[in-house]
Amino acid sequence: MRGAQFLCAFLAVAVICTFVGAGTPARKPAAELPEIKELPNPFQFADGAPVRSTKDWERRRIEIKDLFQDYMYGHMPAKPRKMTVKKGERATGEATKVTIQKLDVMLEHEGRSFTIAVTVAVPAEAKGKVPVLIQSTGFFFGKKGGEGAPGKRFKMYADRGYAVAEFNWNAVAADNARKGGIYTLFGDQIDTGTLMGWAWGIARVIDALADSVPEVDTTKVFITGHSRNGKATLVAGAFDERIALTVPSHSGAGGMPPFRLVEEFAKRNGKTEALHNIAKAFPRWFHPKFNEFIDNVDRLPVDQHMLAALVAPRALMNTEGLKDIW
């Protein structure tokens, strides 16, 4: 009997460890981490062992994701216990050949809830399932608002055979405050920064599209965003393997450029946004203790080339401006 009780206890502990990070050591303060002057090696485990196979890489990916959550972006919240999608009426523009539908995605978790309002535009004459672009409301080319005919501003996407799903990322996590959205749903139990919160919102919209929009091919999801939205785009692409193409635009510090390289560049030109700029100006975007790395960048156990590496073997297309020094 004692042997059976011991086995049950052992299994329970093993299950708990699986959910809290597969036995990942507790977070050390930045001051206790080793200095790494060069870019950290994506193909070397934390214990120094090399990555020698694709199977090794899968384990190393988990380790890298844990490090980004522990030290930079905070943790990706859990999938809520319940999701309900309320579908609005469809409207199709005769001139645009675009069908628009509103989705209210209600998320509920332990007695708390909030709703993500999503606008979905699909090519009206599509034959079969189509790829879908997910972006934040307002990130499109041309004038904002004043659509005229239904779907006018989505026409250029539909003409190329793409659906679009837009929602307000700030409604999922406030740009510079711990309020609304995920903080309503999970309260103070999470250390999630805004950028990771937006990535979580993208994941929930993919869930809703898979559940409620039959024209959309959720094996062909691509995402984009500009500036701070570009940072979140890269985080989402790194953490959600359902995203086939990740396109950050001018993502800057906290996005594509490695902090160590940016730090050196900033010393030379004085105009580049470095870790101390972004951690002081926008602390809510990151883990609550990310500011430990101000003037301490060499103690970061990861850097942004490793975030890009997490997207592999899926596609990543980075866009930058050669004159966009900041």
**Measured between alpha carbons, how far is 137 from 119 in angstroms, rounded to an integer?**
9
Q: What is the pLDDT of residues 181-224, one digit of tens each?
A: 999 999 888 999 999 999 999 999 999 999 999 999 999 999 99
C-alpha distance across the termini of the chain, in Å:
66
∠ Cα 115 198 240 (to 5°): 105
**Measured between alpha carbons, how far is 256 from 279 in angstroms, rounded to an integer?**
16
Max CA separation in the chain (angstroms): 75
Q: What is the pLDDT of residues 284-307, one digit of tens each?
A: 999 999 999 999 999 999 999 999
**Measured between alpha carbons, how far is 229 from 74 in angstroms, rounded to an integer?**
17
Please state, rounded to an integer, the average pLDDT across all residues of the chain. Answer: 89
Q: What is the pLDDT of residues 302-323, one digit of tens each?
A: 999 999 999 999 999 999 888 8
**Measured between alpha carbons, how far is 120 from 132 in angstroms, rounded to an integer?**
9
47: number of Cβ within 10 Å: 6
Q: What is the pLDDT of residues 235-288, one digit of tens each?
A: 999 999 999 999 999 999 999 999 999 998 888 887 889 999 999 999 999 999
Rounded percentage of the chain residues whose pLDDT exceeds 70: 88
Those residues with Cβ within 8 angstroms of residue 85's Cβ, 6 or more apart along the chain or in another chain: 103, 104, 105, 106, 208, 211, 212
**pLDDT value of position 12:** 39
